[in-house]
Amino acid sequence: RIHVMAGRVPLGTDRAAVAAEMETTFIENLRYTADLLSQEDMIGLLEPINNRITDPHYYLNTPHQAAAILEKVGRPNLKLQLDLFHCQIMDGNLSHNLETYFPLIGHIQIAQVPGRHEPDSPGELNFPYIFELLESLGYTGYVGCKYAPKGEWPAGL
């Protein structure tokens, strides 16, 4: 599995003004990439990254946008990499989003909101509930912990 980046809206450019062109280019590039990956029996992962905190210029921001693009690309070896930190920042409603986009999910990443710290740190996300939901949905993949340690990293493990 490999994370396929979506690119950034050019600085000084109005997002809405270039959205259609960026989507068309991204879809063409994803089809090309998916075809190359299929020759190696690999999965490409698209990760929506929030544009409110992490990267205001990143093109792909929500699971809804990613799902629509995956449908247009139409390649079975492209999947959604759902980072619950970004999903919570942009949309919340994690249970609904996990259930809705579960068939597209190829990888899950987690961190606590706010602050992107350890999953067991105080915050908005109830990880025991989320893990139970993932199990009930039949998720058998890895859950990546992508966070910024609050202190020394060994203590966060």
Residue 114 binned pLDDT confidence (cut-offs 50, 70, 90):
very high
pLDDT tens track for 34-87: 999 999 999 999 999 999 999 999 999 999 999 999 999 999 999 999 999 999
Strand order in the sheet with 2-3: 2-3, 44-46, 78-83, 105-110, 143-145
Structural domains of the chain in order of their starting residue, each with its CATH number: 2-156 (3.20.20.150)
Instruction: Sort residue 12 into left (φ over 0), alpha (ψ -120 to 50) or beta.
Output: left
